[in-house]
C-alpha cells in the first residue's frame, strides 16, 4: 500500500541514480551564456509540457505520448534564444559517437530535445551565443569519467554546480533586473515508495520574481525571459504519465515565481523516468502513488528554482550589471 507524504530535501537531480549533468559556458570577450546537458541512463522515458507564450524549443514534438520513440538520450538547456538551439546538434553528435539513439538501418538517431532561454547580448556581444561546439563540450562534461564512475558505483547526489554556470550563466530574473542562475533539488517519496526519488534542475531566467506573501506582480522589465526545468525520477512511468508529471510540475514554478507562463516567457518542463523502481500502488486507490509523485515533482521544481536564485552571483559586463535577488531569510 502506498502511504505517507513526500519528504522534502535540498539535494540535486543527480540523487536520481544514473542522471548526470554537465555544463559549458563563456563569461568573457562579449560572452555571458552557456549550455547545460542532462544525460539520463539508456532506456529513459521522456516527455515535456511547454506553457510559456514565447518558447524556443527543439524536438519537443517527439516527446508526445502518441509518437514513435518513447525514450530520450539527452536534454539540452541552452542560452542564446533560438540561435542557441544549435547546441543540440553538438550533443546529438556526442550521442551518436557513443552509440546512443533510436536504432535505424545503418546507425542510430539520438533523441535530444532542447529548450533555450533569452540571454542575447547580456555579455556585450549579441552574436556570442552557444552552438554545436559548446553543446558537445557540455555533453563531454556530463559524461566525464568521474561522473560515469559514480553511476557505475550507484553513487547518487553527484555534485551539480549551481549559479552562474551552463545555461544559467546569462540568466536574469524580474525581466532582466536581477541575476538568475542554475539550481537543483530533490524530494524523496515516503512510506512504501521511499526508494523513489524525484529531482529537478532549473534554469531561472524569469520575467517574474520569487513569490512572497502579499507581493504584487512586478512591472514588465526590458528583458525577454524563460524558466527551463528538467524533472527526473527513478520510478517506472509510461510516456503519458511522464507527460502528466511535467504538467503537474509547472505548479512548482507558479509557487516559486510571480508571474509565470507569460507571453514573454518560454516556460518549459521536461520529465524523465529512468524506470528503475515500480511504484507501489494501493489496490483500493491505485492513483494515489502517482498523485504523490506528481506532488513531489512540483515541490522539487519549487526548491530548484529558489536554489537557482539563491546561487546566482553578481556579474558585470559591457551590457550591464546584475546583482543577486535579496531572498527573504537569505
User: Quick one: pLDDT band at residue 2, thresholds 50, 70, 90?
Assistant: very low
Predicted confidence (pLDDT) per residue in 19-54, tens digit: 999 999 999 999 999 999 999 999 999 999 999 999
Average pLDDT of the segment spanning 117-140: 97
Alpha-carbon distance of 191 to 249, in angstroms, equals 21
Question: Residue 6's pLDDT is what?
Answer: 45
Counted residue by residue, the chain has a size of 330
Q: What is the reported pTM?
A: 0.92
Question: What pLDDT score does 1 carry?
Answer: 29
* Bond before 259 cis per omega within 30 degrees: yes
State the Cα–Cα distance between residues 209 and 187, nearest whole angstrom. 23
The model's confidence at residue 273, banded by pLDDT at 50, 70 and 90, is very high
- pLDDT tier for residue 329 given thresholds of 50, 70 and 90: low
Alpha helical stretches, state H, the chain: 81-84, 87-97, 132-143, 145-152, 239-256, 288-311
- Tell me the C-alpha distance between 16 and 20, whole Å: 9
Question: What is the average pLDDT value for the chain, to the nearest integer?
Answer: 91
Walk me through the domains of the chain, giving residue ranges and CATH numbers: 7-315 (3.60.70.12)
Burial class (CB in 10 A: 0-12, 13-18, 19+), 227: buried
Q: Quick one: pLDDT band at residue 275, thresholds 50, 70, 90?
A: very high
Residues 225 and 265 sit within 8 Å (Cβ to Cβ): yes
What is the per-residue pLDDT for 212? 82
Q: How far apart are CA 261 and CA 286, in angstroms?
A: 32
d(CA 130, CA 83): 8
pLDDT, tens only, 54-73: 999 999 999 999 999 999 99
Q: What is the pLDDT of residues 131-153, one digit of tens each?
A: 999 999 999 999 987 665 555 54
**Calculated CA dihedral for residues 221, 77, 142, 10, nearest 10 degrees:** 60
7 or 231, which is more confident: 231
Amino acid at each position: 500500500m502506498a502511504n505517507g507524504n513526500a519528504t522534502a530535501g535540498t539535494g540535486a537531480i543527480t540523487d536520481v541514480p544514473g542522471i548526470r549533468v554537465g555544463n559549458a559556458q563563456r563569461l568573457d570577450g562579449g560572452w555571458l551564456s552557456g549550455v547545460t546537458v542532462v544525460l539520463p541512463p539508456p532506456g529513459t522515458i521522456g516527455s515535456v509540457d511547454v506553457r510559456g507564450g514565447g518558447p524556443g524549443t527543439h524536438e519537443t514534438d517527439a516527446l508526445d505520448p502518441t509518437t514513435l520513440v518513447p525514450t530520450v538520450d539527452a536534454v539540452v538547456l541552452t542560452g542564446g534564444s533560438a540561435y542557441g538551439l544549435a547546441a543540440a546538434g553538438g550533443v546529438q553528435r556526442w550521442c551518436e559517437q557513443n552509440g546512443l539513439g533510436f536504432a535505424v538501418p545503418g546507425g542510430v538517431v539520438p533523441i535530444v530535445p532542447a529548450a533555450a532561454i533569452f540571454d542575447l547580448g547580456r555579455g556585450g556581444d549579441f552574436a556570442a551565443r552557444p552552438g554545436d561546439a559548446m553543446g558537445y563540450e557540455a555533453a563531454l562534461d556530463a559524461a566525464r569519467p568521474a561522473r560515469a564512475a559514480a553511476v557505475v558505483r550507484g553513487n547518487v547526489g553527484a555534485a551539480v554546480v549551481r549559479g552562474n554556470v551552463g545555461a544559467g550563466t546569462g540568466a536574469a530574473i524580474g525581466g532582466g533586473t536581477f541575476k538568475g542562475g542554475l539550481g537543483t533539488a530533490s524530494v524523496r517519496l515516503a512510506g512504501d515508495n521511499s526508494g523513489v526519488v524525484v529531482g529537478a534542475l532549473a534554469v531561472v531566467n524569469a520575467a517574474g520574481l520569487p513569490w512572497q506573501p502579499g507581493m504584487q506582480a512586478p512591472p514588465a522589465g526590458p528583458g525577454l525571459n524563460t524558466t527551463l526545468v528538467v524533472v527526473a525520477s527513478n520510478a517506472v512511468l509510461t510516456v503519458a504519465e511522464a507527460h502528466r508529471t511535467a504538467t503537474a510540475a509547472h505548479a512548482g514554478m507558479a509557487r516559486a515565481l510571480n508571474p509565470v507562463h507569460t507571453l514573454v516567457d518560454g516556460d518549459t518542463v521536461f520529465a524523465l523516468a529512468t524506470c528503475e523502481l515500480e511504484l507501489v500502488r494501493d489496490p483500493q486507490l491505485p492513483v494515489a502513488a502517482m498523485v504523490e509523485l506528481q506532488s513531489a515533482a512540483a515541490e522539487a521544481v519549487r526548491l530548484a528554482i529558489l536554489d537557482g536564485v539563491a546561487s546566482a552571483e553578481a556579474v558585470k559586463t559591457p551590457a550591464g550589471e546584475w546583482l543577486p535577488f535579496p531572498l527573504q531569510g537569505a
